[in-house]
Amino acid sequence: MPPACRLSGAEIARAAPTSSRPALAALAVIAVALPRPAHAMHLADGILPFGWAALWSVVAAAGVAVGLARLRRRVSDDRRVRPLVALVAALVFVLSCMPIPVPLVGTCSHPCGTGIAALLVGPWLTILVTVAALLLQALFLAHGGFTTLGADVVSMGIAGAFVGWGTFHALRRAGAPLGVSAFAAGLLSDWATYAVTSLELATALHGARPLGVTALTIFAAFLPTQIPLGVLEGLLAAGALSFLQRRRPDLLVRAGVVAAEDPA
Amino acid sequence: MIAHVAPLLTMVTSAAAAAAERWPGVDETVVERVAVAAGRTPWTVPFAPEGDALLFAFLIAGLVGGFVLGYTYRALFSPPAQPGEERRP
């Protein structure tokens, strides 16, 4: 049994050699300030080399600039756009930080919500809500990175939004019902997000391997988890549009989702 | 005593490790594997929450997101109140 210590912690601290205190303080600061290993659903910091991260950030910044101009114009035209954009932003934020278990595979992933967002506010404003959602997640939830924010915005906010929006309008022009078009938009926007994420990873990290093979291999690895999640996103999009069709058809008309004379 | 505690500790820690490995995200099963194979190491900023603080952060994020969703839903979908009556939920 060790001998009883007769000194309190404060007394021991006072008796400690003072010359080591700055060194200890410096070590503590370094330990807190050092980057730590990360696990995040979106691309984390450090995954992409600086050059690629910068390139995707420039692409995302161009989309943000157009999105801001569109937002100003739409808000000045119709003040009810604000609560709709806020609702969509909250929806994208909540959906894209929600890890959903896929029992068949035993893994988790998150829906993106940018397909639904693109249908409700258009693809350009979806870029803005994606930036807001991803920035908040990187700041407060250790969910995605700052250096990779541009790459995440390009995959989720640009590719996901434009594929969802394009799919929906192409199917509607071909005469598909509203629910079917919305389902396909949600499904394909999710898969497009992960296809572009695969491309982002492959372009930066393929090394000596062929780019196409690397991108397809990464995308194939995503698929077991993302196939069911894509279906879930499709169902969410179809449900949201059917709900709006019943409760606020005028919102769908103003969003350009349906024509005024073509309610279904 | 150590002979009794050590196997129990091993069992508990391995169960905890197994629990931590269950339901990994695609960030671990796909992205991290690709990154590590290419010599990249994902990192996070020093002020990022960890452990139960991360659970707390996610809970607060869910609450705030839910509040904004509810508030804007009400603004968009509730009929405006008539003079002299309460706004319907």
| Judgement on whether residues B19 and B54 belong to the same structural domain of the protein | no
Asked if residue B61 is part of any domain, the answer here is yes
* Dihedral angle over CA of A255, A259, A263, A264, nearest 10: -90
pLDDT at A71: 95
Residue B27 has pLDDT above 90, yes or no: no
B10 pLDDT tier (thresholds 50, 70, 90): very low
Q: Nearest by CB to B30, which of A49, A136, A222?
A: A222
Question: How many C-beta atoms lie closer than 10 Å to residue A188's C-beta?
Answer: 22
A251, A78, A46: which is closest to A148 by C-alpha?
A46
Q: Nearest by CB to A107, which of B24, B48, B62?
A: B24
Asked if residue B15 is part of any domain, the answer here is yes
| Judgement on whether residues B5 and B34 belong to the same structural domain of the protein | yes
Q: Which residues of B touch A136 (CB under 8 A)?
A: 61
Q: Hey, is the C-beta of B61 within 8 angstroms of any chain A C-beta?
A: yes
Q: Hey, is the C-beta of B29 within 8 angstroms of any chain A C-beta?
A: yes
| Judgement on whether residues B74 and B60 belong to the same structural domain of the protein | yes
B7 pLDDT tier (thresholds 50, 70, 90): very low
Mean pLDDT computed over B35-46:
88
pLDDT at A256: 82
- Minimum Cα–Cα distance from B70: chain A residue: A87
| Judgement on whether residues B1 and B17 belong to the same structural domain of the protein | yes
B12 pLDDT tier (thresholds 50, 70, 90): very low
Asked if residue B70 is part of any domain, the answer here is yes
> By mean pLDDT, which of A208-217, B11-20, B61-70 is the weakest?
B11-20
Mean pLDDT computed over B10-27:
58
Asked if residue B24 is part of any domain, the answer here is yes
| Judgement on whether residues B22 and B37 belong to the same structural domain of the protein | yes
Asked if residue B31 is part of any domain, the answer here is yes
| Judgement on whether residues B58 and B31 belong to the same structural domain of the protein | no
- Structural domain harbouring B9: 1-43
The reported pTM is: 0.81
Asked if residue B74 is part of any domain, the answer here is yes
Q: Give mean pLDDT in consecutive 10-residue pieces for chain A, a chain of 264 residues.
A: 50 54 54 50 88 97 97 89 94 93 90 95 96 94 91 97 97 95 97 96 93 95 94 96 90 83 59
| Judgement on whether residues B73 and B56 belong to the same structural domain of the protein | yes
3-state helix/strand/coil string of chain A: CCCCCCCCHHHHHHHCCCCHHHHHHHHHHHHHHCCEECCCCCCCECCCCHHHHHHHHHHHHHHHHHHHHHHHHHHHHCCCHHHHHHHHHHHHHHHHCCCEEECCCCEEECCCCHHHHHHHHCHHHHHHHHHHHHHHHHHHCCCCCCCCHHHHHHHHHHHHHHHHHHHHHHHHHCCCCHHHHHHHHHHHHHHHHHHHHHHHHHHHHCCCCCHHHHHHHHHHHHHHHHHHHHHHHHHHHHHHHHHHHHHCHHHHHHCCCCCCCCCC
pLDDT at A197: 96
- Minimum Cα–Cα distance from B37: chain A residue: A205
pLDDT at A254: 83
Is A37's CB within 8 Å of B73's CB? Answer: no
pLDDT at A168: 97
**Across chain B, what does the average pLDDT equal?**
76
* Interchain CB contacts (distance < 8 Å): A and B: 144
Cβ atoms of A63 and A125 closer than 8 Å: no
Q: Hey, is the C-beta of A104 within 8 angstroms of any chain B C-beta?
A: no
- Domain count for chain B, please give it: 2
- CATH number attached to the domain at A45-254: 1.10.1760.20
Asked if residue B84 is part of any domain, the answer here is no
Asked if residue B88 is part of any domain, the answer here is no
pLDDT at A24: 55
pLDDT at A80: 81
pLDDT at A40: 52
